[in-house]
Structure 1
Amino acid sequence: MNNSCPNCNSWRVTTRNIGRKTGGLIGTIGGATSGATGAISGAELGATLGITGGPIGIAIGGIAGALIGGLFGGVAGGIAGATVGEQVDTRILNNYQCLSCGHSFMRRG
């Protein structure tokens, strides 16, 4: 694969990954928000399971259920967003940048 700069022919080229970073961030926020909605169900389930431990068991079970729901949602959303962003980098954005001259370009070939 030829990743030399089309402007100055330098081999000092890096990827910018703007779409991947942005998609990951948006996905994480969206996933955490969705996970927080699911966390309500998780908190209810955790509280129900914690009944055997009394009031403390209910509180700990509810908090644990909410945290796990939000965490899993955020991770899943972040992975999905990063994957979509990576496709945007590859197909739409000028993902490569020359470290010698600063030129941004798409991969050739």
Structure 2
Amino acid sequence: MNEKCPNCLSVRVGKNNYGKKTAGVVGASAGTYGGYAAATAGAQAGAALGIVAGPVGATVGGIGGAVIGALLGGATGASAGVILGDVLDERVLDNYHCLDCGYSFGEDPNSQGG
């Protein structure tokens, strides 16, 4: 999309993407914690059942499961956060800024900038 600055009509316009960046970090953090917590619970159950393979098998399986769960949870949370942040950037925040005059504005032509 080619945006024009409503202040000086320049076509040299950049995007801030503050919502996308912030929500992505928050989503990744929450997803990592949630994935780790779920994987830890699963690892405890797996370790209890895997004790038949010996203590080393139960330990390695439990730690591996927790790490994989945290990584998958973090990736999922980051993806969800980026999607939410993109919506915030486009609908709520003044996401665009003019590279010539410094004016900030949103996609909505009626939005206030400054």
Indicate the TM-score class for this superposition, using the shorter chain for normalisation. 0.7 to 0.9
Unpaired segments ≥5 residues, structure 2 = 110-114
Q: Indicate the SS of the match to 2:54.
A: helix
Give yes or no for contact 2:12–2:100 (8 Å, CA) kept in 1. Answer: yes
- Separation of aligned partners in 2, 1:46 and 1:60: 11
Partner deviation per Cα, 1:12-38 (whole Å, 9 max, x = no partner): 111111111111111111111111210
Q: Indicate the SS of the match to 2:102.
A: coil
- Separation of aligned partners in 2, 1:8 and 1:70: 48
- Separation of aligned partners in 2, 1:81 and 1:99: 27
* CA shift for structure 1 position 52: 5.3
- Separation of aligned partners in 1, 2:17 and 2:61: 40
- Separation of aligned partners in 2, 1:67 and 1:2: 43
- Separation of aligned partners in 2, 1:69 and 1:31: 9
Partner deviation per Cα, 1:49-79 (whole Å, 9 max, x = no partner): 6545422211110111000111111111111
- The range that moved more, 62-71 or 45-54, is 45-54
* CA shift for structure 1 position 100: 1.2
- Separation of aligned partners in 1, 2:9 and 2:84: 30
Partner of 1:28: 28
Partner deviation per Cα, 1:55-106 (whole Å, 9 max, x = no partner): 2211110111000111111111111111111111111100111111111111
Q: Percent identity?
A: 49
User: TM-score, normalization: structure 2?
Assistant: 0.83
2:39 pairs with 1:73: no
Unpaired segments ≥5 residues, structure 1 = none
- Separation of aligned partners in 1, 2:71 and 2:2: 40
